[in-house]
Structure 1
Amino acid sequence: MEVSKGMNGNPLRSLVCLGILVLMCSLAIIAEPCSATEVWSEDFDGDFPPDGWVIDANTIVVDGTLRGSYSTEVHRPCNLTSGTWNFDMFDIGNWMMDLRPGLYVYFMSTHPDTHPQMTYCLRITQGTTSAGLKYIYAITRFNGEATVTLASGDGLERPSLKGTLHHIRITRTAAGQMSVYVNETLMVEATDNEISTSECFRILLGYDYAIDNIVVDDAPPGIPMELLAVGAGAVAIVVVVVVVMKRRG
C-alpha cells in the first residue's frame, strides 16, 4: 500500500514549509507587544511653562521651540528606563564663536536635588574638521563619582551648522542596549546596566540651540537582537535537517 507523501508528494518540502510557518508565527506573536504607547510629549505650543516642567528663569519659547541661555536646565518627572525618547534640535546659529556650549539630554536621571546623581546622557558637542564643523554625539554615564563615555560618534562635516534641523531618537532596551539615531541614521550605540531606575528627564540647554517636539514612548526599538538571533538559528537548524535527510534519503 502506498503511503501519502503529503504536500505535492514531497514530505521534505512539507516539513520545511511547516517549520518556516511556525517560525514566522512565533516571531509575529513575540514582537506584537512592541507596539508603542506614548508616555508623554511636549511641543511647547501651549502655556509656558508647561505642566510638570521645572524651567530656569532664562529659558524662553520662541516660535514654539524651547530656547535657553548659557547652560539653562529644564526637567520634568519621567521614570522610563526602556523605550524611545524623540526630539528635534535646531541650530539657531547666532553665536559668534565657532564652537559653542553643548546640549546635554539626560534621558534617564535622578532628580537634580538628589545626591549622588545617577544619569545616562546624550551629549551633543561640536568639533572642528578640515571641512568646517561637525556634531559629536556621545552616550555617557554618571554614577555619582565620575562621568564615563560609553560610546561616541561623529556627525556629518559641514561648512556651517547654522540653520540645520536634526531629528534625534534615543532608544534603550530592557537589556540595556542604547542607540542614538540622527535623521534616522544610527550614529552611536552602547550597552550598560549600571543604572536601572529614573526619576526625571532633564535637558541642559546650551546657548543657540532650540528643542521641539519631544515624544517619549515605552516601545522597545523594534524586534530585539536576541529574538532575531533565535530566528536565524531556527532557520539554520531547518536547513541542516533538510540537508541531512536528503543525504540519508
Structure 2
Amino acid sequence: MGRILVVEDEPAIAELISMNLRHAGYDPHTVGSAGEAHEAVRDALPDLVILDWMLPGESGVSLARRWRADARTRELSIIMLTARSSEQDMVQGLDAGADDYLSKPFSTAELLARIRAVLRRKLPEALEAAVEVGPLRLDPAAHRVFHQHDEVTLGPTEFRLLRFLMTYPERVHSRGQLLDRVWGDHVFIEERTVDVHIKRLRGVLAPYGCAELIETVRGAGYRLARKLPTAVPGGGPAGADVPMR
C-alpha cells in the first residue's frame, strides 16, 4: 500500500512503528542513521519517510534540508518525530521541509492518521502522468481512460477508483484503505460501498474484456492485476474471484 522508510535509531521504537505499519498494510523499511537513510533514498524513493530528529552523525532536520535541496528528493513526503515539543522546535522542523511533525510520546493511531493525511495530499501530484496497466491507459489530466484506441466511459467515483488501483498494480487494498484513499475523510460511508463501485467498474470494463483485471482476494480486499488471468481448460479463468465473507 505504500513503501515507508522509518529512520529511527532506537530499535524498540523503530520495531513498534514498523509492526504497526505492516499491520496497516504498508511496506516499512527501517534504518538507524542519517547515512543509511540517505543511501536507502538514493537506491529507491519511498512514498513517505518517518524521520527522527535526533540521529547519530547528522540530525533529521539537516537531512530533511538536504533532501529538499535536491531536485530528485524535493517532493519526498516527510513526517518528523522528536522528543522536542516546543513551538519553536516545531517551526524549525517544518521549515526544514517536514510535511508534518509529531512529538514523542505519540500514539500509533495518531501516527497512522498523519501518514494517511500526508499521502492523500501527495496523491494528486503522483498521478499527473498517464499510467498504463495491461491494455488500459488512464490519463488523469484529461480525465480519460482508453482500452487500446477505444475510450472507456466511467463515472467520477469509478474513475478515481480505477486510477488508484492502476497506480498500485498487484497490491492488495482492503475496503478501509480504498475508502481512505479514494473517498477521503468521508468516514460515514460504509465499507460495502466499495463492493458496489467495484461491481460497477467491472461492469464497465467487461465489454472490453478487462473486468477480470480487478481481482478479489478472499478476506483481504481487491487487487488490480497487470495482465488478464490465463483461461483454464474446461472452466473459468485461473484465479477467478471468490466473494469476500
TMscore range, shorter length: under 0.3
Answer with 1 or 2: which has the greater Rg.
1
Q: Structure 1 length normalisation: TM-score?
A: 0.25
Which has the larger helix fraction? 2
Which has the larger strand fraction? 1
